Amino acid sequence: MKTYSVTEAKAKLGPLADLALKKRPIFIRRGQRILQLVEATLPEPIPHYPEGHFAVGEERAAYLNSLPVDPEPLDR
């Protein structure tokens, strides 16, 4: 396992980033600790809905209010 010091990694950051993007493990040593350079996976953005998108009409609200309520807690 090849490790680079922080100084070495700074000088070779571009090529090391390219290797990390090719799924090659890159380890950087800082004192007694070791870091790993890997490609980040970003989460999907939260979709934006227009105001009122989740509004419930009167008919639907009346139906929901007519449903029986379970007195037991959900986390059993």
What are the backbone angles phi and psi of residue 8, rounded to the nearest 5°?
Answer: -65, -45
Report whether 38 contacts 20 (CB < 8 A). Answer: yes
CA distances from 40 to 10, 12, 16 (A): 19, 19, 15
Distance CA 9, CA 17 (A): 10
In this prediction the pTM is: 0.55
| Per-residue pLDDT band at 67 (split at 50, 70, 90) | confident
What digits encode the pLDDT tens for the residues 2-47? 899 999 999 999 999 999 999 998 999 999 999 999 999 999 998 8
